[in-house]
Amino acid sequence: MSDQDRVTAAVIVIGNEILSGRTKDANLPYLAAGLNEIGVVLAEARVVPDIEAKIVEAVNAMRAEYDYVFTTGGIGPTHDDITAAAVAAAFGRKVVRHPEAEAALRGFWEARDIEVTAARLKMAEVPDGASLVENAVSIAPGFRVENVIVMAGIPSVMQAMFEAVKGDLKRGAKVLSRAVSCQVPEGTIAAGLGVVQDSYPALDIGSYPYFSEGTPGTTLVLRGTDAAQLDDALARVEALIVECGGQPLEARSG
């Protein structure tokens, strides 16, 4: 697959609660799997605090480099929900209250006899010119500005938002994988594995060491878009394992 055919994405996870360890991020694995399904390569991910300058820096760096940038977190009603303002600043736009978002939110709350407050209406604020991203779970929308797609941090809501935009994304060739494990130390197989990698520059070949009952082993994972090339490279890796005194085993997960 040529660089012109490659579709790439990055994820910015926003929130002090992630960096503090109080909340474990569940969104990145979901996005990685969902993007891979449609042939979009997740090439980078960053976790940034609730600081506008940090968000602006990450958004501007990533939107210039990748086809898509997804952000998660920071679009709620509280003082530390600053993603909309930060994304607006990154694009040099002002923040506006989106009339469609406001109408939907007002209708949702009024139907449930929930007071409409200024804090709640903050969830209708987006950068000027942004399009809305549907939220089928709790109504409050995400939004999109050019190639930046802004979503909630709550996993169920983020997933609904991603599924709402997934069908509109440009697609590339799906990345396939092959994997094999062996009870051979990573250091023993490293040199030969480098030779295999050099022979298949279009593939990504990774090695992941483990210990099983005190015995060192290595899982080898090959990723690429050409199934035949993956099979050829896997055969080379399996032969290398035998040369190093091991036997190819079913790939370990995790």
Share of the chain above pLDDT 70, in %: 98
120-130: per-residue pLDDT in tens?
A: 999 999 999 99
Question: Which residue ranges form the domains of the chain, and what is each CATH number?
Answer: 7-166 (3.40.980.10), 176-243 (3.30.70.1130)
**Distance of alpha carbon 125 from alpha carbon 132, whole angstroms:** 10
Amino acid at 88: A
pLDDT of residue 2: 47
What is the pTM (predicted TM-score) of this model?
0.88
Average pLDDT over residues 117-144: 96
**Residues comprising the chain, all counted:** 254
29-81: per-residue pLDDT in tens?
A: 999 999 999 999 999 999 999 999 999 999 999 999 999 999 999 999 999 99
Instruction: Give the three-state DSSP class for 70.
Output: strand
Decide if pLDDT at 162 tops 90: yes
